[in-house]
Each structure stands twice: as structure tokens, then as C-alpha cells.
Amino acid sequence: MPAMTNRCVLLKSRPVGEPRPSDFEIVDAPVPRPGDGELLVRTIWLSLDPYMRGRMNDAKSYATPVALGGVMTGGTVGEVIESRHPGFRAGDFVLTYGGWQAFHLARAGAQPGPFGPLKLDPAAAPISTALGVLGMPGMTAYVGLYDLAQPKAGETVVVSAAAGAVGSAVGQLAKIRGCRAVGIAGPQAKCDHVVKELGFDACVSYRTGDLFAALKDACPGGIDVYFDNVGGDVLKTVLRLVNPFARVPLCGIISQYNATELPPGPNLGPVLVNRVTIRGFIVSDHVDRLPAFLADCGRWVREGRLKYREDVVPGLDSEPGAFIGLLQGKNLGKMLVQVSEDPTRR
Ligand SMILES: NC(=O)c1ccc[n+]([C@@H]2O[C@H](COP(=O)([O-])OP(=O)(O)OC[C@H]3O[C@@H](n4cnc5c(N)ncnc54)[C@H](OP(=O)(O)O)[C@@H]3O)[C@@H](O)[C@H]2O)c1
């Protein structure tokens, strides 16, 4: 048997503006050996998420940046190859935070809640969903919409990046609550997808035509909840249509992740006169909601009421390009890298 090597994607330089392939370096390293209490995990699925762009900067944030020369960070699903922890066995499938590499060590109890290591049951749901609809992005949608915005039946919920991992779940969770769900996305094909495949009531493009007029048409009763994934001009436009006491969970500002200068802020006049609540949140502050999220969303996925789509690219070597594409909106649904074979899909 040939000696196993650990292919890793390292952060080589900190990007200014859009990341480039040359900001990453792909190397082969020795496979690490697990110590007491550790698991050696073969990465099967790697999640690519917009927050990783922030980890490439050396700036103050809620999480530490990736060190130059360090392995890029990321949520992973894999198979335990060797266990030195009594709670796990070789052959178990686990959710971990292993980063952009083919093998990694995980220490049980090191990461709370949805960041593992958490044992996965392949009979309950495809293991890759632990990185998407039944993982961090799905839980972000669940907590941000149900706990922070608390939509009532009959209200209108608008969500941006509507065809992505978080946004696609937000609109469907709004429908499950009896709300009108309106998406905002870039290409028309994404708008068609969320209406025809995911059951949103409407979806408008922020790229073509007059977003204000299109949103006004799609939301005849105004907007009660705006789940903001993008910030910038889209937020500015939505704020012109909010109803009194609207709620705005501020989930992400992807329109400025590659920005080199801060854009001018939105006009907050409508926030004042409509007594709007804008609340920023980070899903990792809400791990206590993991059991409720898994129970509700697991059931809705099994019942076909919460649909999901995965956008899969093969192999670690595709990662830098796939990640750059995610920030440009090339993905439809949850962006995943298949790092190695998934034996549960044979
Ligand atoms: N607060 C938290 O705890 C938390 C947790 C998870 C995710 N998030 C945030 O939630 C947002 C969505 O994450 P995700 O994982 O679901 O990603 P995603 O929606 O699957 O992918 C990102 C999408 O953002 C859109 N986009 C890119 N640049 C844009 C721009 N300049 N203006 C408007 N839209 C743009 C693109 O869709 P189009 O082609 O439609 O433009 C792209 O497909 C991100 O901002 C992320 O940082 C926050």
C-alpha cells in the first residue's frame, strides 16, 4: 500500500480585494498521528462558506484569522480512521472542524454544538447535510428567522442571497410558518429555482432592472422581516419598504467581504420612523438551540417540506477556485468540496 500523505491547502498571502489562486498553496504533508483523546479523520466533505474570506484577513473579528502558512479553516464531515477516544470508533462518521485538508485530528469536546466532533447517523440523513441544511447554515436560518425575527403567519419575509445555503432555508422556514416568502438573488435562473423548486412566493433579481419597483410589486403588503445576507445597496433598497415594527436579522454582508474601503452606510431614516429592530447575530452564540433545530429541520427535510441543493466540486485542488467562485455567486445551493469517497453514497 502506498504511504498516505495529507494534501493541505494553506493560506499563502492575505488577499487585498478578491482572493486569487496565488493566495493559496497546495502541499502534501505527513498524515498526523492521534494522541490520547484524539481522532484521526479522513475528510470526505468540506464546507465552503463566505465567512472564510474574513478569516483570510488579519483584522479584529469574532474569530481568529488563519495564520499565514496555516491550513485554511472549515467545517468538515469525515470518517474516523483511528480513534484514541472511548466515545468514537474507526468507521464512525463525524462532523468536525478539520479545515482544507485530506486528513485531520479532532479532539472530542473541543468544539461545541454544530462544530463537532459530533457523530452522524447516515441512516437519518445524507452525511453531507450536516454541513448544509442540517448544519451551520440551516441553523443560522432557523435561529435568525424563528428566534430573532419571530415571523407571524401572514407576514411578508424577504431574504437576500435567496438561492444560497442560508437563504434557501430561510424562505422555506418562512413558508412553514405561514408567511409570504420573497427572495432576492442575482441571476434569473436562481430566482426561478427558489420559486419553482423551493416554493417561495416570488423572487426578484438585484442585478436586472429596478429592484425597488420589483420588490414593491412582490411585497404588496410591505416587508415585515428582512433577513439580510448581503448588506450594501440591497439593504438600502429594502429599508424603503419596511412596515412599522419590522425586524431585520443582520446575518451577513457579503457585498463587502472583498471591499478594500468601507462603502457609505444605508439611510436609517426608515428604521427610525418605522421603529425597526436591526439585530446582528452569530450562529455560534446559539448552540443551545441545536436540539430544537435538528428535531424540527430533520423532520421537515424527511417530510420533503425543507428542500436543499448541494453544489459539489471534486477534490482539494478545486478548492481555491471554488471558494473564489462562491464569493462571485457561482454556486447554486450549499457549496461543498468532495475531498474523498463517501462510502454511504455507494
Ligand atoms: N451570522 C452568522 O452566524 C452566519 C452564519 C452563516 C452564514 N452567514 C452569512 O450568510 C450569508 C449567506 O451565506 P451562505 O453560506 O448561505 O452563502 P451562499 O448564499 O450559499 O453564497 C453566497 C451568495 O451570496 C451572493 N452574493 C455574492 N456577492 C454578492 C453581492 N455583492 N451582493 C449580493 N449578493 C451577493 C451570491 O448569490 P447571487 O448570485 O444571488 O448574488 C452567492 O451565491 C453570508 O453573508 C454569510 O457570511 C452568517
Quick one: three-class SS letters along the chain? CCCCEEEEEEECCCCCCCCCHHHEEEEEEECCCCCCCEEEEEEEEEECCCHHHHHCCCCCCCCCCCCCCCECCCCEEEEEEEECCCCCCCCCEEEECCCCECEEEEECCCCCHHHCCEEECCCCCCHHHHHCCCCHHHHHHHHHHHHHHCCCCCCEEEEECCCCHHHHHHHHHHHHCCCEEEEEECCHHHHHHHHHCCCCCEEEECCCCCHHHHHHHHCCCCEEEEEECCCHHHHHHHHHHEEEEEEEEECCCHHHCCCCCCCCCCCCHHHHHCCCEEEECCHHHHHHHHHHHHHHHHHHHHCCCCCCCEEEEECHHHHHHHHHHHHCCCCCCEEEEECCCCHHHC
Task: Give this prediction's pTM.
Answer: 0.96
What local confidence, expressed as pLDDT, does residue 217 receive? 97
Q: How far is the CA of 143 from the centre of ligand 1 (A)?
A: 16
342 lines ligand 1 (CB under 6 A): no
Ligand 1, residue 282: give the atom nearest the CA.
3
190 lines ligand 1 (CB under 6 A): yes
Could you say which residues of the chain have pLDDT below 70?
Answer: 1-3, 109-116
Ligand 1, residue 327: give the atom nearest the CA.
27
d(CA 78, CA 326): 22
Q: How many residues does the chain have?
A: 346
Q: How far is the CA of 48 from the centre of ligand 1 (A)?
A: 11
Q: How far is the CA of 40 from the centre of ligand 1 (A)?
A: 32
**Cβ neighbours of 33 (radius 10 Å):** 10
What local confidence, expressed as pLDDT, does residue 209 receive? 85
* Region label for 312, one of left (φ > 0), alpha (ψ between -120 and 50) or beta (otherwise): beta
